[in-house]
Structure 1
Amino acid sequence: MAIDYNSYEHYNAAEPREQGSSTRAVHAGTQRRKAFSSLTTPIVQSATFTFEDTADLCDFMDKKIWGDGLDREEYGRYGNPTIWAVEERLAALDGAEDAAIYSSGMAAVTSLLLTVLKSGQHIVMTDDCYRRTRQFCLTVLKKFGIETSVVPMGDYEALEAAIIPKKTRLIISETPTNPYLRVADLERLMEIAKASRVLTMIDTTFATPVNLRPVEWGIDFVLHSATKYLGGHNDILAGVITGRADRLKALKDSRGVFGNVIDPQAAFLLERGIKTLGIRVQQQNRSAQAVAEFLESHPKIERVWYPGLESHPDYEVARSQMTGFGGVVSFEVAGSLEDTSLFIDRCRIPYIAPSLGGVESLIEQPALVSFYELTTEERLKVGIKDNLVRFAIGVEDTDDIIADLDQALAGIPDRRLEVAWEARFRL
């Protein structure tokens, strides 16, 4: 029987189709009809919200107490219509039931930990997690009687062995990690967590929901530093946790106590950035893959760390879990600390700066940005070499980025040739 594709009945009977990441980024979590018929989500710039009369106030309080369809707020520290709209979109992007937005990524992760943990409990985290998260767990949480075990990234036997029955509450990891782009095997991690009845949190800032959605693998809490790819323009600070609605309710309640809610203006800018997330990340995926392949073949590069390369230790895991490998490439220049600095100074397109995920390319030498106060020997103990570079690729043309790297590398000495000549001279 021929199908009339113009008939209402055909569309009404069709199975709902899951939308792509770019469509969700533009449309998910928003009402078609907004206040004042605005196309974009209005910025509700108000610290407090009023009531028509006492009956209206009492109706609000009843709904708040019983959790019955609350669709407004009383005070901006607890929420805001602009924030709610962005939270719905972020939840949809991650395939989660709900989301909670915070004033920064660190505000998000510290609030989560302080909410779900209590004195006497224990957490296990992988050693390539964000250094400020590690610092918070090893110093601040310790003051509250919460112990942390750090295990090598990718060593699942060590992770399983570190779990203390009836005491371990949470496993924390990151995927891909910073700066070596290690990729967690979420299937293996969840097997361990379920067997031990332990909650899980994954920081997937580097991946974004375009490349990976850990909720689909059973992860309980997914963290994004929304300052990075979600915002995408290096102009806001924001963080988000996504997950099950019942677990997120406790986080939103504690957010009202901690007072680290995002402001409406930043939430509006975050939503604006999210709308182009799909096309930005796809371009960054393509450029990063091309850059990684170029660098791996270059004689002045010792090693490249990128999960889209077969040489990466987690290539197979990344290929099985991710739809793209991200916009960050880390690599080791064949030279000294000074040679690496010279290379970075010769680059014309990227800015020298921490952070990542924006439209502008950013480049940094971790030894001089995050670990400046340490000696070479101390940096090596935490896995940071003097010649390591982290390149966060923007949306510039791929050919221009590669040409810039090529000219920058051409200006640094070839230490391998010097070593060869010295060896020949000694002979």
Structure 2
Amino acid sequence: MKDPKKLGINTICTHVGEIEDKQFKGAVSPVYMATSYAFDNVDVKRYPRYFNTPNQEGMCRKIAALEKTEDALVFSSGMAAISAALFAFLQKGDHVILQQVIYGGTYNFVAKEFEKYGIEYSYTESNSVNDFEALIQSNTKIIYIETPSNPLLGITDMKAISDLAKAKGIITMIDNTFASPINQNPVAYGIDIMIHSGTKYMGGHSDISAGAVAGSKEHIAKIWETAINYGGNLSDFMVWMLERSMKTLNLRVKEQTKNAQVVAEYLEESPHIDRVYYPGLTSHPDHELAKIQMKGFGAMMAFELTEGIDAMEFQNALELIKPSMSLAGLESTTVSPAQTTHALLTEEERLERGIKQGLIRFSTGIEEPEDLIADIEQAIQKTKKELV
């Protein structure tokens, strides 16, 4: 096949990493369900936990092509990918700098696990590169960022972070889930390791749990050495399902991104919404930076309802949009971060990160935006209360 770097994005989504059906000439990759393979007189000693079954290898090539990196690994969940990537480069006495507002699961993982292993960590007070620089210690090994961030869609300057880290010999990692490889390729700005919850945009149909890590061959090889010990590999059937889903990744994300812009602009003008967090709005404090480092502003946003509208009553009044735990499916969904993704944080920790009880995270699907707006409007009308 032609060099993936010279292929169009839809061609990469559709064809890179596919497995030829040599026996029956089927149009889609066959799925190899074996958990036991020959070890003698073979080129590769295959074993599912070693991330090297035929389907796993094919998926890794596709993810690497999409992120424009040398290599990749596919995992059973986003947290499996995050934990393997971090632990691969850390040992007792090391220090990590993390962006203040990140996925609640990542925050909980750091808080609950790092102390056991004698790993130190610090959180920034903002996304400013100056905050990261001020926290660097002689034992700092990793800078970990998430942009756009979950759930407030903050934007971090990837090139500034990368330049700072490289000058100090520090590895950079990014959770690139919210943008997806369609809207953002952090490697272009010098970030070392890209991490995804493949459950989200890569899967895209709310029926797959997966994770991914992409980077240089050297970095992925080091992560592999740790990952094989934790057992976070993805089953071959789910890898096959993920390949099926990723064929439409670009088409889905572009449509969702287009819809998100329309809905965000409507919400910003609504008298019933106090604030909208979406990098595609000129009112977003990091809008200009997002324009530079993103190819599209993504399909995720968050908003705060005005006083007199209860967040849960509003979500329960929705008829088309689904209140749901996850995100990035074809269908539009809402969630209350304080009760789900960031529920493991204390109320004080949530408020420090700007996550109020009434904050709603909105994942835009592929429905017509007019239908989404109509559903939001009717839910507002049903639940708003006149203030005395």
Global fold match (TM > 0.5)? yes
Q: Which amino acid aligns with 2:179?
A: A
Q: 1:85/1:317 Cα in 2 relative to 1: closer, same or farther (>3 Å)?
A: same
Q: 1:363/1:97 Cα in 2 relative to 1: closer, same or farther (>3 Å)?
A: same
**Aligned runs of 1:272-283 on 2, under 5 Å?**
272-283=244-255
Cα-Cα RMSD: 2.1
User: Displacement, 1:267?
Assistant: 0.3
1:18 aligns with 2:20: no
User: Displacement, 1:375?
Assistant: 8.0
User: Displacement, 1:32?
Assistant: 5.7
User: Displacement, 1:411?
Assistant: 1.9
Q: 1:114 aligns with which of 74, 84, 87?
A: 87
* Residue matched to 1:409: 380
Q: 2:335 aligns with which of 322, 341, 364?
A: 364
**8 Å contact 1:26–1:275 — kept in the other structure?**
yes
User: Displacement, 1:298?
Assistant: 0.3
**8 Å contact 1:123–1:168 — kept in the other structure?**
yes
User: Displacement, 1:230?
Assistant: 0.1
User: Displacement, 1:372?
Assistant: 5.3
Bigger relative CO (Cα 8 Å, ≥ 6 apart): 2
* Residue matched to 1:388: 359
Q: Which amino acid aligns with 2:195?
A: L
Q: Which amino acid aligns with 1:225?
A: S
Q: Encode CA deviations 1:223-258: one digit per residue, 9 max, x unaligned.
A: 010000001111111100000012111222332222
Deviates more, 1:90-99 or 1:154-163: 154-163
1: CA distance, partners of 2:313 / 2:372: 17
User: Displacement, 1:383?
Assistant: 2.1
User: Displacement, 1:413?
Assistant: 2.4
User: 1:303 aligns to what SS in structure 2?
Assistant: strand
* Residue matched to 2:163: 191
1:174 aligns with 2:162: no
1: CA distance, partners of 2:85 / 2:170: 15
* Residue matched to 1:49: 37
1:298 aligns with 2:270: yes
2: CA distance, partners of 1:345 / 1:26: 38
Q: Which amino acid aligns with 1:43?
A: V
Q: Which protein has the larger Cα radius of gyration, Structure 1 or Structure 2?
A: 1
Q: 2:65 aligns with which of 92, 100, 104?
A: 92
The normalised TM-score by structure 1 is 0.86
Q: Which amino acid aligns with 2:181?
A: P
Q: 1:373/1:245 Cα in 2 relative to 1: closer, same or farther (>3 Å)?
A: closer
1: CA distance, partners of 2:111 / 2:175: 17
* Residue matched to 1:212: 184
Any unmatched runs of 5+ in structure 1?
Answer: 1-11, 52-56, 61-69, 423-427
User: 2:221 aligns to what SS in structure 1?
Assistant: helix
**8 Å contact 1:138–1:147 — kept in the other structure?**
no
State the identity %.
Answer: 38
Any unmatched runs of 5+ in structure 2?
Answer: none
2: CA distance, partners of 1:376 / 1:406: 30
2: CA distance, partners of 1:31 / 1:84: 10
User: Displacement, 1:376?
Assistant: 6.2
Q: 2:55 aligns with which of 77, 82, 85?
A: 82
User: Displacement, 1:379?
Assistant: 4.1
1: CA distance, partners of 2:353 / 2:162: 27
**8 Å contact 2:5–2:65 — kept in the other structure?**
no
2: CA distance, partners of 1:393 / 1:136: 28
Q: 1:81/1:372 Cα in 2 relative to 1: closer, same or farther (>3 Å)?
A: closer
Deviates more, 1:196-205 or 1:131-140: 131-140
* Residue matched to 1:229: 201
User: Displacement, 1:259?
Assistant: 1.5
Q: Which amino acid aligns with 2:167?
A: A
1: CA distance, partners of 2:338 / 2:222: 39
**8 Å contact 2:104–2:343 — kept in the other structure?**
no
2: CA distance, partners of 1:90 / 1:378: 34
2: CA distance, partners of 1:269 / 1:154: 36
Q: 1:28 aligns with which of 8, 13, 16?
A: 16
Q: 1:247/1:376 Cα in 2 relative to 1: closer, same or farther (>3 Å)?
A: closer
2: CA distance, partners of 1:372 / 1:218: 33
* Residue matched to 2:25: 37
* Residue matched to 1:5: none
User: 2:102 aligns to what SS in structure 1?
Assistant: coil
Q: 1:323 aligns with which of 281, 290, 295?
A: 295
* Residue matched to 2:96: 123
Q: 1:94/1:17 Cα in 2 relative to 1: closer, same or farther (>3 Å)?
A: closer
**8 Å contact 1:354–1:369 — kept in the other structure?**
yes
* Residue matched to 2:316: 345
